[in-house]
Structure 1
Amino acid sequence: MDREARKTDKQNPKQAICASCGKEVVEGEYIEYQGRILCADCYLAELEENVDIGAQDSCGAG
Structure 2
Amino acid sequence: MVGGGIPEKTLVASIAIYTYVEALEYQKAAYLSLVLLVLSYVVLWLAISLERRQKPCLLK
**What range describes the TM-score normalised by the shorter chain of this pair?**
0.3 to 0.5
Structure with higher helix content? 2
Structure with higher strand content? 1
User: How high is the TM-score relative to the length of structure 1?
Assistant: 0.42
Give the number of the structure with larger relative contact order, counting CA–CA contacts within 8 Å between residues 6 or more apart.
1
